[in-house]
Chains A and B, each alone.
Chain A
Amino acid sequence: MNYSYLVKRGIQIIPVVFGILIISFLMIHLAPGDAVFMFIGESGADPEFEAAIRTRLGLDKSLFEQFILYIKGIFSGDLGRSFVLNEDVSKIIFDRAIPTIILMLSSISFGAIFGILIGVYAASKPYSMRDNISMVIALFLYSLPNFWLGQMLIIVFSVNWGLLPVSGMESMILGDKSFLFDRFTHLVLPTITLGSTLAAFVMRFVRSSMIDVLGQDYILTAKSKGLSERKIFFKHALKNALLPVITYIGLRLGYMLSGAVVIESVFGWPGLGLLMLDALFERDYPLIMGLFIVISLSVTIITFIVDILYTYLDPRIRLK
């Protein structure tokens, strides 16, 4: 196990984490207007209360000291308190995280599987009809504004044909449907919408990775040994080609979460994205910043984990 590589990657994350914290700190303090209002809301409060908050939040100290306090707070899990919802930010986020996680997992699975299947299919006969059509499909998919796709799917499948629910994560009244089935029908359209962009990118990536691999010297060696096309394609080429896909999907994580915000809005999916939008409308700054930090850090950590996974799978890095 190549520990030195792990450590090196681990060290590389630190500046990123730091950068995220600095950015969020700066955003709070660079905003026009007094930073106090970010914490207590814009409703007029009496001056004494304001002064007390100021001291409590340390806003009368130097910028640098504030930053240290800020970081300390975050690492002890204190993301501040939402005055709008009257709860600790960390609790709010924790409660609303699961729907987003479900949506992400299902979309990523859908996108990855669909993308890999078509990408491999396209690469099996490069520059042929099947390849060209597949790549045009990919092009169309990633040119689609995903919120529009979501809306159109709703119109067709929910409004017009009534096959699938219009919005939300679950039905109010289950009736005679099973719990799982209900959840599933609600999940279908959001998954397809969010996953389709990922599928498009994965398709192209897999296809080009495969074609790249198929042009490598060791494929000629495999041919010279008399192996069948099939064996060469699946045993020699595929493993080499699919290895980088894992890292690639990791790279798209940020963009997918980005898309999740929009999709949750279209489908009324009660996750962190919708929470963010509500917070923005309400000007609930503690919640906004808290969400920002949690999401950014989550992506950082998950990307790191994906990296580790990759180093384990690629023998060139795993050994020596």
Chain B
Amino acid sequence: MDVLKIKNFWKIFKQNKLGVVGLIILLIFVFLAIFAPLLARFPSLTTGAGEAFLNPSFKHLLGTDNLGRDLYSELLFGARITLVVSFIAVITSTVVGVLFGSIAGYYGGIIDSILMRITEIFLVIPPIFLALVLVAIFGANITNMIIVISVLSWPQTARLVRAEILSLKERPYCKAAIATGESDFKIIFSELVPNTMTTIIVNLSLTQATAILIESALSFLGFGDSSMVSWGLMLNNAQEFFRQSWFMVFFPGMSIFLVVLSLNLVGEGLNDVFNPRRKK
């Protein structure tokens, strides 16, 4: 049964209850992000919408922060940043990663050595450190954040794809393709990479989860785009006000947690579909 066909895919995926839960949570957040302007009570970053440190009420569903901003509205707008930034970063890094990984894996030799050394370097440099330095040098805005996160994420994807290609390369059908006289380009992208699709897809959701954690960490440390709301930024703001309001900490953080969790659950679900385990 070909699991890349939607009908078959869904049949197996829905058996994984946690995966389905994750998908639902994810879709809810996507919905909230898309319709944020309609759902929010107040436009983004409106100080003084209410008194400071209000508890959740009907007017302010999740309360207010130290400057009287409506937490509920801030949260909705924050969702947009988080999801958009991470999504674009993931797509970019996956494309780059697949390109590099497949070429390095197929040709081996110098290209491969270079790739392996690059991925090792990225493994050794603590990601946040590199991100902070880059943001400090080039400035903290949305575009740079996306670029920085992409730069941090592509080596992992490249490594994964390279490993798959290395093993697929040894399969007789690849040798047969060479023997038939197929061009290298066609072999890599028409024979080999399609067989890595399952790995790439699972990797997509897991990479996005990581991307969100990096983005919020950067914002939390104060190095995100300060002109826009972001959940990490909200937590940064909340750092001084533990005693006054724990809502300021709880809601943004819980949102990050739920989105990341849902992505990881979906990733697990995808993994179960593509690499079924034998159980009774």
Residues of A within 8 A of B (CB): 12, 15-16, 19-20, 23, 27, 30-32, 127, 136, 139-140, 142-145, 147-148, 151-152, 154-155, 159, 166, 251, 254-262, 265-266, 276-277, 280-281, 283, 288-289, 291-292, 295-296, 299-300, 303
Contact = CB atoms under 8 A, between A and B. Distances in A.
Given A20-B125, A151-B253, A299-B125, A292 B246 contact: no
B81 interface: no
23 contacts: A16-B117, A16-B121, A23-B125, A27-B133, A127-B279, A143-B257, A143-B261, A144-B260, A145-B260, A147-B217, A148-B254, A152-B253, A159-B242, A254-B125, A255-B126, A261-B129, A266-B239, A276-B129, A276-B132, A277-B222, A280-B136, A292-B129, A296-B124
**Top 9 A-B pairs ranked by shortest CB distance?**
A148-B253, A258-B126, A143-B261, A257-B126, A258-B128, A31-B137, A19-B121, A143-B260, A296-B125
A300 B136 CA distance: 24
B268 A254 contact: no
A32 B135 CA distance: 12
A145 B213 contact: yes
B249 A139 contact: no
Contacts, number: 135
Nearest to B261: A143
B221 A277 contact: yes
Contacts of B268: 139
A280 B133 CA distance: 8
B243 interface: yes
A310 to B, nearest CB: 16
B129 A145 contact: no
A27 B126 contact: no
A39 to B, nearest CB: 14
A145 B217 contact: yes
A11 to B, nearest CB: 12
Contacts of A30: 137
A254 B235 contact: no
Which one of A20, A139, A256 has the highest number of Cβ atoms from chain B below 10 Å of its Cβ?
A: A139
A257 B129 contact: yes
Interface residues of B, number: 48
A259 B126 CA distance: 8
A148 B124 contact: no
A289 B126 CA distance: 14
Contact of B124 (A166, A265, A280, A300): A300
Which one of B132, B209, B257, B260 has the highest number of Cβ atoms from chain A below 10 Å of its Cβ?
A: B132
B239 A151 contact: yes
Given A152-B253, A280-B136, A280-B223, A254 B216 contact: no
Contacts of B279: 127
B257 A303 contact: no
A254 B123 contact: yes
A3 B204 CA distance: 40
A262 B249 contact: no
Contacts of A251: 123
Given A147-B217, A261-B221, 6 more contacts: A32-B137, A147-B220, A155-B249, A254-B123, A257-B126, A292-B129
B235 A261 contact: no
B76 interface: no
A280 B132 contact: yes
B184 interface: no
A136 B235 contact: no
Contact of A143 (B222, B235, B264): B264
Nearest to B280: A127
Contacts of A15: 117
Contact of B121 (A23, A127, A147, A155): A23
A261 B239 contact: no
Which one of B126, B136, B250 has the highest number of Cβ atoms from chain A below 10 Å of its Cβ?
A: B126
